């Protein structure tokens, strides 16, 4: 045991104890919200993130509103598509027969009249 306190052993022990104490000190400070110390005794204060948080809250509110708007649009589209009497093929056929555009659509089928 006496060899530990003689020569370079004591220096290593002192460095280990002081480093451990510094780490424990900063851990306690961080846990309770105090400024942290750096290796040279300077203080590092916590960053004020309140402006960033408020910006993110505002952006989140806008995105929630957009999502609600899209949900309303989706409800309207679902209502249109699922309404009784809605037939996409009937509308396409009506457009094919519409000669008011001046360009008849030739689909290769001949209508029987």
Give CA angle at 67 (73, 53), nearest 5°.
160
Residue 56 near residue 63 (C-beta atoms within 8 A): no
DSSP single-letter state for residue 109: -
**Considering only CA atoms, which of 61, 32, 35 is closest in space to residue 48?**
35
In whole angstroms, what is the distance from residue 19 CA to residue 41 CA? Answer: 13
In this model, does residue 73 exceed pLDDT 70?
yes
Mean pLDDT computed over 78-93? 71
Q: What is the pTM of this model?
A: 0.36
The reported pLDDT for the residue numbered 63 is 96
Q: What average pLDDT does the chain have?
A: 77
């Amino acid at each position: 045991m006496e060899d530990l306190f003689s020569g370079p052993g004591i220096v290593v022990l002192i460095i280990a104890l002081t480093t451990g104490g510094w780490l424990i000190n900063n851990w306690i400070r961080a846990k309770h919200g105090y400024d942290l110390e750096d290796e040279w005794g300077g203080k590092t204060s916590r960053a004020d993130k309140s402006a960033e948080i408020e910006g993110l809250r505002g952006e989140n509110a806008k995105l929630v509103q957009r999502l609600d708007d899209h949900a309303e649009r989706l409800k309207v589209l679902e209502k249109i598509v699922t309404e009784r009497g809605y037939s996409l093929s009937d509308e396409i056929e009506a457009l094919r027969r519409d000669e008011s555009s001046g360009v008849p659509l030739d689909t290769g089928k001949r209508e029987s009249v």
